[in-house]
C-alpha cells in the first residue's frame, strides 16, 4: 500500500506543480498536459480519464482542460 503525504484538489485550468505520485479523476476529466519524470516522453497531452481512474508516476505538473482530480503528493 502506498502512503501519500497529502493531496491537492484540482478543478481549474491552471498549471499545478509539485511532486505527485497519483492523479485520480473525481469525475470524467481531461488532462490537458501532464509532465512526469518517469514516463517515456515526459510530457503527455489530452489524456481522457473516466471517473475514478488514475495515472501514477513521479508527476511534476498537471493542467486540466476539464473535470476535477485529486493529485496525491509524494
Name 7's Cβ contacts closer than 8 Å, sequence gap at least 6. 70, 71, 72, 73
C-alpha cell recorded at residue 71: 493529485
- The beta strands (E) that lie in the chain are given as 6-10, 15-25, 29-36, 43-49, 54-66, 69-73
Total-model pTM: 0.91
Assess whether pLDDT exceeds 90 at residue 2: no
The whole-angstrom separation of Cα 13 and Cα 66 is 7
CATH number of the domain to which 23 belongs: 2.60.120
Whether 1 maps to a domain, the answer reads no
Q: Note the pLDDT tens digit of each residue in 13-45.
A: 999 999 999 999 999 999 999 999 988 888 999
The strand pairing partners of 20, in sequence order, are: 59, 73
> pLDDT by residue (tens digit) across 49-62?
999 999 999 999 99
Determine the pLDDT at residue 4. 87
Structural domain including 61 reads: 6-73
Structural domain count of the chain = 1
Amino acid at each position: 500500500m502506498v502512503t501519500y503525504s497529502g493531496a491537492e484538489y484540482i478543478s481549474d485550468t491552471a498549471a499545478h506543480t509539485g511532486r505527485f505520485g497519483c492523479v485520480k479523476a473525481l469525475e470524467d476529466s481531461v488532462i490537458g498536459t501532464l509532465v512526469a519524470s518517469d514516463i517515456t516522453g515526459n510530457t503527455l497531452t489530452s489524456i481522457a480519464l473516466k471517473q475514478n481512474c488514475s495515472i501514477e508516476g513521479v508527476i511534476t505538473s498537471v493542467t486540466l482542460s476539464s473535470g476535477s482530480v485529486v493529485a496525491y503528493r509524494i
